[in-house]
Structure 1
Amino acid sequence: MHNLNQEFIIHPVGQGLFYSGKISHKNKVKFRMVFDCGSVTSGAYQSEINIYRDDDFLKYKIIDLLVISHFHQDHVNQIGNLLNGKIKIKKLVMPFLTYEERLFLVLKQFTRDPGQSEDDFFIRFAIDPFGTLNDNLDGNSEVFLIESDPTGPLDRDQISDESRDFNTDNPEKRFEFSFKNKEPITPSENPTTSNTDVKGYKVFDSENGIVCAEEAVLMEFIFYRRKVTENERAYYEEVVRLFYEEFKIDSKLPKDELLNEIIETVKEITSGKDIESIFLKAKRKTKIKGIKLEDSNTTALSLLHRNMPAILKLGRD
């Protein structure tokens, strides 16, 4: 019998992405992760989600690490389905985005397919991710928002390869994911609109995420995000300003009211041309160059993960 088993799967969900992984030790799942969960291919995702929601998952109701790469419908629209039944997220990793950037991404998708406005979960999640996951984030949850580090790439020496002794006999004790260096986000930086209680941290993409059993580092997770320029940010903000102006939305409404007003407005959009004209006006106003509308997604996180030497010892114990 093997003491350790790792399983990482790219689920066949058509146009979209659903990538999952788990580590089991002595027949007990100690760590679960999901990287995106979405699809726009009709009927391609439900059976894969049902398979993933196995007996152990439904019994313990835990995802140790959920990673959101970016806010496109085919990457996130099935997260609500996956988490149904008050599954708790221990650690959530996603790009650090301003509110304007997230609304920009929602509007961008409607230039091509206004029919997506029927997807209430996608709209709410993209605009207000913390609030939408309110039932899945408790007082012990942590959210890490990844920013591009302007000082340089990852320092490989910051993770020790030392193999330590550790006790994993407690079947209820799970492996923990975290970052060594994290900075609490301020209220003004908080990217949520309706859940202000979640513990959020800003992390540079030069920081390693690590999975540990006690003090032993079992796995390393490396994230990368391209830096957003000031010109790009000005473009996003102008798109949002014009959207408010075109659809007569009062941006000074209380947060909850503003959120509902935006969602209801977006859901009523029937023509992508209405939104496309806003993007073209914003492009002329900000005089931004080198960005094609279909390529203007600067939010995506790339992910690399690898085993560390300590996990080999765990497999031999």
Structure 2
Amino acid sequence: MKICHVDPACGLDIPPKDWGAIEKIIWEFEVNQRSLGHESIHKMAGYIEPGEFDVVHCHVANLANQLHERGIPYIYQLHDHHVLHYGKESSVYKENLKAIEGSLISLMPANWLVDYFDHPKCIYFSHGVNTNDFYPLPFHTLPKNPKLLMLANNGLGGDPAFDRKGFEYGLGLAMLNNLEITIAGPSNNKNFFNNHIWMLNYPKLNLVFDTPNKELLKLYHNHDIFIHPTMLEAGHPNLTMLEAMAAGLPVIADWEMEVDLHGCWRAPRDIFKMDEGLKTILNNWSDYREQCFKSSEELSWLNRTKELIKIYTKYAL
């Protein structure tokens, strides 16, 4: 099968050196599609010719619409949580709906997106994780004072001060238990902390910026529990949750009810329910750690790619 992923044209490398979720997803699909015997590359939309590929897989709405105008069939995959944030009257929603309507089939990484668009071409397709790059330490015993980790790019809709990822809740959980916590992410997070100066008063808070992808595993291995009380995600589960799980970190997070994710404690933005989850995980450390690793194995990028090839075969060939 001859496959082309459309380069999102965001100015980031494929694979990305640090931040770049869509670019990471494209690269994982490419590598695993090649390992399964297919030809898979990425190209800018304007350089793709009609009939050049068996499958064109597009990840950005405006580029999908350009392909449609040029008569190039495509499979669409939506990654934009702003379709909900701005609402159904917004240009963001309408542009994505147009991309869905023009697609052969559209992959939604969250069930809420399927329900939200309520379109017959929308199907749920989970994200995955590279279990060769992310794996647990062989002998990771629970320390007396476990270290918490958050890893995210905070903000929403151009407002860097908006706590979409729940940094305040993660810090609150650490403060409640007098635990060390690291909040990592791109330099953009500095804008968030400039608007939440009070958080810097906690002496056990560590800030980490712009960790290269090749250093992420070390970051996970230096911590014990991953915290992700997000309030809006296009991916359920999202990439960092899966990476943390593959690295052997039980997770306290909020994700949609339709997705059953073993090894994680589901907690809404409620500091006391998060604390209940923390205590439950600490009392059942080995079980949670084993379950989260098994869940990540089931959602490896290789397994997700095998399912994707079935979708290509059904809808594009």
TM value normalised by structure 2: 0.28
Structure whose residues are more often helix by fraction: 2
Query: What TM-score results when the alignment is normalised by the length of structure 1?
Result: 0.28
Q: Which has the higher strand share?
A: 1
